[in-house]
Amino acid sequence: MIDLKLLRADPELFRAAYELRQAEVDIDGLVDLDGRHRTLLGQVENLRAEANRANKAIAEATGQQRAEAIAAAKEKSQGLQDVESQLRAIREELDSILLGVPNLVHPDSPPGLGEEANRIVREPAEIRKFDFEPKDHLTLGESLDIIDVERAGRVSGSRFAFLKRDGALLELALQRFAIEHLTPARFIPVIPPVLVKREAMVGTGFFPTDETQVYRIESDDLYLAGTSEVPIASMHAGETLKFEDLPLRYLAISSCFRREAGTYGKDTRGIIRLHQFEKIEMFSFCHPERSQEEHAALVAFEEEIFTALEIPYRVVEICAGDLAAPNYRKYDIEAWLPGSERWLEVTSCSNDIDFQARRLGVRTKSGSGTELVHTLNGTAIACGRAIVALLENHQRSDGSIDIPDALKPFTGFDVIKT
């Protein structure tokens, strides 16, 4: 949620940000509504003081004066109730509008909309040259009998998959590798619940904008989280974190669920865009003055992982028009897929500044007082996509797959073969 105090002080900052986002936000109407709310709030405070004085006068009055005092207090009470009703109505309207207003945007974010507007920050020095025609991940996975989407389709429908044999072990190895790599950097491993309340979806900024992407369990009014960012961010809702604990870093290991509404025909082959997938997510509660530095650190951790896996990648800054509502700035890592001859997003890393913390009420206290923290998130390993990139980049001419050295201690085997 945006800072209304900052909006009042500098509406042009927000106007420029939403122009970058290509988002339609009625800044003038929002400022006017906020002004009306503050006016009514002042009136309520004054009327409450008058009502208190009127009630006090009853106790001090006698005879006819008491009857008059009671009538006056009743009139003040009714007037207070009328204005409080107006205040509640305008507060509800203001809150409803604010829930749909996206975050500010870093001024250096690339303008525009669509992949062509993204900014390439770093590219690989080289990409492996094959002396044979490389295959895509599904062709490799099916020939090795480690990926089965046909049977998964019969069991669950489209966009599901069975990982089998060494494919299942490979996913577990990737998770363990990421955990071992990141825990020395003060990341606390955690397995969060995958079912969350609506308040958690709203508090992290995924609702109302992305509600169509989320599976709902109607009988219990719970939602399947599309990313562990949701339960981890909400874990400290309403809390004041110790300043000396920041950055407070978590490493969440969880299944994720996405409806993928609106992506018909996109990445339907194989295990790239599934309704259910495993992911290890980095999440950080950070002091506001350090969030840009923390953002760079999370991206660096992602790069370390893909460098160790010997997968060529590039770092891309996402354009303002493609930022999700909570995002202030975002970087993706895209891996090269030689069998598909394309770049594939394998991680994303976002700084959401105080947008989520304001909704969730997560603060810290230091010598300068109490203030909202900043929240950041970044993919350590999205297992399915990492497997896609690994299979295509480490394939041999006979269809077997080399395991990169960094992963061998976690797989227990050096190669995947029939």
Cβ-defined contacts of 113-119 (< 8 Å, 24+): 113/22, 113/319, 113/321, 113/322, 114/319, 114/321, 114/322, 117/319, 117/321, 117/322, 118/316, 118/317, 118/318, 118/319, 118/322, 118/332, 119/316, 119/317, 119/319
Cβ neighbors of 114 (< 8 A, separation 6 or more) are 319, 321, 322
Say whether 77 is catalytic.
Answer: no
- Tell me which residue of 385, 407, 382 sits closest to 255, measured CA to CA: 382
**Contact indicator for 253, 191 with CB cutoff of 8 Å:** yes
How far is the C-alpha of 44 from the C-alpha of 177, rounded, in Å?
58
Say whether 258 is catalytic.
Answer: yes
Which of 159, 329, 359, 385 does the annotation list as catalytic?
385
- Tell me which residue of 181, 235, 217 sits closest to 356, measured CA to CA: 235
How far is the C-alpha of 316 from the C-alpha of 333, rounded, in Å?
6
Say whether 385 is catalytic.
Answer: yes
Which of 228, 234, 254, 348 does the annotation list as catalytic?
348
How far is the C-alpha of 316 from the C-alpha of 293, rounded, in Å?
17
Which of 239, 304, 310, 345 does the annotation list as catalytic?
345
Say whether 273 is catalytic.
Answer: yes
Q: Which residue has the tokens 């395991």?
A: 403
Say whether 60 is catalytic.
Answer: no
> If you write DSSP's letter for every residue of 11-74 in order, what string do you get?
HHHHHHHHHHHT----HHHHHHHHHHHHHHHHHHHHHHHHHHHHHHHHHH--HHHHHHHHHHHH
Question: Which residues pair with residue 401 across a beta bridge?
Answer: 395, 416
Which residues carry out catalysis? 258, 273, 345, 348, 385
